[in-house]
A and B are shown apart, each in its own frame.
Chain A
């Protein structure tokens, strides 16, 4: 991938898919740690279970496609898909939810389209959108951050018990006390309240948003690390976050009672995860630098539109999928000029 345009001399660094994927896994560590700290062991178990399944499905489908299994497993792309889905699922989702999701991601969204490099849609996001549409109840039962559960809230459900809940050995009623709507969900379904009233009266919005702030900060750190290691360029994340911030500021200034503030939009839900880990997927995004600006801006705009007027609380998955669809079109119109060639004339030629 030639992502950085600069003049010679060039230092060559043999970047490879496995290396990039491993860097992604490392960069997600702060986010994983923050999620585990605030939402309990569920996240870790989901990621582990998802990775196990992803390796299994990837190996099976490679065998079916008569491709070298080991070679493709070593590129770790299945692990990254599993990681993203594991982070996106509610920490206490039942085991079969992850199973269905990984099957859809690896088998349908990735390999039926031709495998890594040929998939038009981000596999983890396809799986997430499918699960959200199919199992809305399970997918919106998010865990309340432990600050809301009293001082010893975090120790109430230990590793073993969380394991039991996810794999069905413990009844779901055991976790009803720990689950709640996410801030985005709460704000979306606030009824006739103004945003200010909602922030005062809803428990999650009043006391719980700090957890999401911290998680967003952790993802942001991971993203900056990836940027520093030049895994991707700044264009997609900056234009996505910039557009989201700009448009939400605009609406917030005009009607602060009915719209959330820009900081809320930037730190809640999957905004940061999406900006640095999902939208930057080199396979499904636009390729040129100018194209990435449009691509990111489209995601930012769609995230705001779907969050504010759509029927689902979070929007990153849908926004990314819609812009994945638009990426080939963006690429067509943002091809960089070849050095030494004039800009091509489009449309009707004047002298024809």
Chain B
């Protein structure tokens, strides 16, 4: 029986595709100029990831090991094509902004990686949850990076959200700095690299702090355990 709690935590934090596995860096760095771009790509990737994990898991007993990768690619490509058509139908402007990065979801290593590392070995429910959580973890990183770059680069937050959520979202735009002349570096790819590095550093700091706190708590709960001294030479 799969441990759903562990799958969730792995996807969102411990094994986050963006911050820990460092997979799918190309779209991660390329389209996170604004929150809306990041959210569009994140949602599309999540849908593809969940769908492909579901399908791969369903067919896992019928897929010969030798040709599994081409088959996974076919499945993923089918989902990406559907997403692409959906985006053309409903969010055409965003589809044009994201451009080549929508079809490129096929080559996103997160999706291939989860299909091969998880979905083809695990039952359907666990695979779907894994796909969803990995996708959400990826989307979260995209969103944070997109927000960072949008605030620094343009001085706004949630601009152009109507591209994704319809005309009602036009008023969501928050202008943080009036008369902001723009910080081009944050919008350009080097800014994405620096921002990504800072995010990874932040995650590592938080992990280190948590570990420290866990260690500090441990002796109190366990009390003074028995300390064993090794009396023989080499063991085993």
Contacts and interface: CB of A to CB of B under 8 A. Distances in A.
17 contacts: A100-B183, A108-B194, A112-B197, A130-B185, A130-B190, A133-B184, A133-B185, A133-B188, A134-B183, A134-B184, A134-B185, A134-B186, A135-B181, A135-B183, A135-B184, A136-B184, A137-B181
Interface string B42-82: 00000000000000000000000000000000000000000
Contacts of A137: 181
B25 to A, nearest CB: 19
Given A135-B181, A135-B184, 12 more contacts: A108-B194, A112-B197, A130-B185, A130-B190, A133-B184, A133-B185, A133-B188, A134-B183, A134-B184, A134-B185, A134-B186, A136-B184
Contacts of A133: 184-185, 188
B185 to A, nearest CB: 4
Interface residues of B, number: 9
- Chain A contact-residue range equals under 10
Nearest to A94: B181
A108 B191 CA distance: 12
Output the residue of B185, B190, B194, B197 with the most chain A CB within 10 A.
Answer: B185
Nearest to A130: B185
Interface string A99-118: 01000000010001000000
Interface string B184-207: 111010100010010000000000
Contacts of A130: 185, 190
Nearest to B201: A112
B187 to A, nearest CB: 9
A67 B190 CA distance: 29
The 4 closest A-B pairs by CB, nearest first: A134-B185, A134-B184, A130-B185, A134-B183
A334 B234 CA distance: 48
A189 to B, nearest CB: 20
Contacts of A135: 181, 183-184
Nearest to A100: B183
Interface in A60-119: 100, 108, 112
Contacts of B186: 134
A100 B190 CA distance: 16
Interface in B194-234: 194, 197
Contacts of B184: 133-136
Interface in B70-117: none
A135 B184 CA distance: 7
Interface string A131-147: 00111110000000000
Nearest to A137: B181
Contacts of B194: 108
